[in-house]
Amino acid sequence: MTNNQNQECCPKLDPTLWDGKFIEWKDKKFIKDKVFTLFFMPINFGQVMTRLMNKVDEAKVKTVDNVCLSDHTSKWNMDIYLAVSKEIPGAKNVTLSGKFFSKVYEGDFKETGKWCQDYESLIKSKGYKIKKWFMWYTTCPKCAKKYGKNYVVIIGELEQ
């Protein structure tokens, strides 16, 4: 994702940087917004991302590692967390702290249920429980087609 709307919107993900990695975040900064979903399918995702990126541009702030986490809170709502370098006035600023584990999956979104089951089994095999988890849809459909890969990263906050 870039701040310049005229360029390709999604940089290519290097999955080796995120696959099977433990992450420690201390007050990692994000701005948060909500996406309306219909049975978990995002309806206004593009509008929300444009709104968030406009706030980033106006504040002259940078996004961090292009991380944009999705928290499916119900079949009608998805909270979006966009990683930023500093707080942004007029945005809902939040921080995340804790131990997290990331796992990269590749394929069609219809595989999400299978990926989630695999992720849960993996976390359990490592002796952890999932406190909260997020989906990171690393590319839009246009860029996924361009790159020939549709990477999705599951990032879970861990508890023992």
Q: What is the mean pLDDT of residues 112-136?
A: 96
Q: Where does 15-159 sit in CATH, by number?
A: 3.20.80.10
pLDDT of residue 7: 54
Domain residue ranges in the chain = 15-159
How far are the Cα atoms of 24, 26, 27, 28 from residue 97, in angstroms, in the given order? 7, 4, 5, 6
Which segments of the chain does DSSP mark as H helices, in order?
A: 45-59, 112-125, 141-147
Q: How far is 83 from 31, CA to CA, in rounded Å?
A: 7
Q: Is 149 helix (H, G, I), strand (E, B) or coil?
A: coil
Question: For 39-51, what is each residue's pLDDT tens digit?
Answer: 888 999 989 999 9
Question: For 139-156, what is each residue's pLDDT tens digit?
Answer: 988 899 999 999 999 999
Q: Is the pLDDT of residue 3 over 50?
A: no
Decide: 136 and 82 in contact? Cβ < 8 Å. Answer: no
Question: For 61-103, what is each residue's pLDDT tens digit?
Answer: 999 999 999 999 999 999 999 999 999 999 999 999 999 999 9
Q: Is the pLDDT of residue 29 over 50?
A: yes
